[in-house]
Amino acid sequence: MNLLISHLRNLYISRALTPTELVKQLDAEIGTEDSHHIWIRRLNLNELLLYTQQLEGKDPANFPLYGIPFAIKDNIDLAGIPTTAGCAEYAYTPTKSATVVQKLIDAGAIPIGKTNLDQFATGLVGTRSPYGACKNSINPEYISGGSSAGSAVSVALGMASFSLGTDTAGSGRVPAAFNNLVGHKPTCGLLSTLGVVPACRTLDCVSIFAKSSDDALLVLQSAQGFDADDAYSRQTPANVMSNLGNHFIFGVPKPEQLAFFGNSETPILFKQAIQKIEKIGGKAIEIDFSPFLETAQLLYEGPWVAERYAAIREFFDSKPEAIFPVTKQIIGNAEKFSAADTYTALYKLKALQRKAEAVWSNVDIIITPTAGTIYTIAEVEDNPIQTNTNLGYYTNFMNLLDLTAVAVPMGFQSNGLGFGVTICAPAFSDDALLNLANRL
């Protein structure tokens, strides 16, 4: 079934399709088998029909997402459905949906279910889940990318028009690259995180997966908005840039600062991506990427791992046996950091932010691979920490430096697996990046 938002909207407006007909067909097509380990809790048909009943008889033109099916990462609340964060023992059933979910439902979107994730959103691999390792949509021997694993795969396999993930270290971008999707990591605070289980609350943001940048932009516009009840919500400044124009300058890391981790094909695909961006009006210049790389190291090697512990401290201390082993190892590292270490790291981050600011005086955007390579599930299980670290090489700095980013598909390797690049820019450049992605 073609689930592009524009296609479904045309069917609804012409009365060739109703939301009830859509969910009945979609429910039958998804079926009960879940060989990719996508779902933690999929809504049954009766639950889906409760949402369609609220739409029937209403004018589709009044709802930007009328009858559009979407999936929700299971660390984001949907009223009446348990939120597990990838841990059954942690589960609770919210009475209210997360602000961002409610905004989408109010815009006409229909939630299909809650998706699998790296437990407590800790990981970029999609294998750290007691609900099973989420498999790549193209080749199930490979990882889906995480932590927003099931959210990405649900869209890639045609089970939802779009999905919500979260992105603290790259979880809205790596799964997009591995499943040939657009993945948007919004400006922190642009989408409310009220009703989202925190990973690092000061850095978390809700992310969007879609088949096209047009779809991602429409979802973003429907989901965003200041939330006075969310202490980390931000007002969008006036006169933000919405388009880069026909000529722009993009930064590319120096060759010695690029890393592809032994993959012989992705360097070629990255060069081709640069050429494609040049053809639409971009001028490439080399930049010193070191401030970004040094910032990336702070996220898991510094005291921000203690923020992950703070988010689930009571549960972690009382039920450590319920934590997935690798997740427990990572979050358990929090104990080695002192309050003084935190301030030392904050001072270092401030210095790196100043260095990174200098780069933006010369470029409009920066282009990197989204991930230098991809691994099989077996490779990740053999070396779970290092493989995950490699996948965060181009992603872990983003929220610490208050950037926004879009992961864009940019071709395939000879084994059929996808490759993508990430376009990033300073905060509140969201519309401009998605409009550029559309041109690619």
User: Which amino acid is residue 343, in one-letter code?
Assistant: Y
Confidence at residue 238, expressed as pLDDT on a 0 to 100 scale = 86
Confidence at residue 352, expressed as pLDDT on a 0 to 100 scale = 97
Which one-letter DSSP state was computed for residue 98? Answer: -
In whole angstroms, give the CA distance from residue 33 to residue 289: 45
Range in 106-110, 212-216, 334-338, 342-346 with the lowest mean pLDDT: 334-338
* DSSP H helical ranges for 31-142: 45-53, 99-106
Per-residue pLDDT band for 67 (boundaries 50, 70, 90) equals very high
Q: Which of 144, 147, 148, 233 is catalytic?
A: 147
Per-residue pLDDT band for 422 (boundaries 50, 70, 90) equals very high
Query: Contact 154/163 with Cβ under 8 angstroms?
Result: yes
Q: Please say if the pLDDT value at position 1 is more than 90.
A: no
- Could you read off the pLDDT of 391-410 as tens digits, one per residue? 999 999 999 999 999 999 99
- Say what the pTM is: 0.96
Q: Which of 73, 103, 135, 185 is catalytic?
A: 73
Confidence at residue 245, expressed as pLDDT on a 0 to 100 scale = 87
Q: Which of 144, 148, 154, 171 is catalytic?
A: 171
Q: Is 170 exposed, middle or buried (0-12, 13-18, 19+ CB in 10 A)?
A: buried
Confidence at residue 30, expressed as pLDDT on a 0 to 100 scale = 97
- Could you read off the pLDDT of 240-297 as tens digits, one per residue? 878 888 999 999 999 999 999 999 999 999 999 999 999 999 999 999 999 999 999 9
In whole angstroms, give the CA distance from residue 358 to residue 274: 22
Over residues 139-159, the mean pLDDT reads 98
**Is 163 assigned a catalytic role?**
no
Q: Please say if the pLDDT value at position 127 is more than 90.
A: yes
**Is 355 assigned a catalytic role?**
no
Confidence at residue 59, expressed as pLDDT on a 0 to 100 scale = 95
**Is 147 assigned a catalytic role?**
yes
In whole angstroms, give the CA distance from residue 326 to residue 306: 16
